[in-house]
Amino acid sequence: EAQVTQNPRYLITVTGKKLTVTCSQNMNHEYMSWYRQDPGLGLRQIYYSMNVEVTDKGDVPEGYKVSRKEKRNFPLILESPSPNQTSLYFCASSTRTGGEGDTQYFGPGTRLTVL
């Protein structure tokens, strides 16, 4: 089954304790992205990756890091989480076919609470 998986689904942590949220897709997609969803703001892009070892900032990258060492995986790293990073996080992936409006496939989300 084609899917994007995220782990963990729920996480409660404390300020300053480094954490990683994993994302994996089994569709051989080149493009992967991380979003955060906050009430009244919709989804905002944090980072994206066009392919292995190619990453770039989205709209709200401060406080986050990513890496893309393998095509299928795109972990999101919070080196020193703060309460304002409490949010619902989504990973997404899509193919790259020359700007054909490819559908982005979303993971189930990770609800993060930073105390």
Partner 1 sequence: AQSVTQLDSQVPVFEEAPVELRCNYSSSVSVYLFWYVQYPNQGLQLLLKYLSGSTLVKGINGFEAEFNKSQTSFHLRKPSVHISDTAEYFCAVSDLNDYKLSFGAGTTVTVRA
Question: Which residues bind to partner 1, rule: CB under 8 A?
Answer: 4, 31, 33, 35, 40-45, 48, 50, 58, 90, 92, 94, 96, 99-104, 106-109
CB nearer to partner 1: give 1 or 100. 100
Q: Quote the least distance from Cβ 69 to partner 1, whole Å.
A: 20
Is the CB of 32 or the CB of 79 nearer to partner 1? 32
Structure tokens at 25: 């897709």
- The minimum distance between CB 71 and partner 1, in angstroms, equals 15
Residue 27 or 41: the one with the smaller Cβ distance to partner 1 is 41
Per DSSP, the three-state class of 50 is strand
Residues 90, 95, 101, 106, Cα dihedral to 10°: -20
Closest CA to 74 of 101, 107, 103: 107
Q: How far is the CB of 106 from partner 1 (least distance, A)?
A: 4
Q: Are 74 and 26 in contact (CB under 8 A)?
A: no
Distance CA 37, CA 73 (A): 21
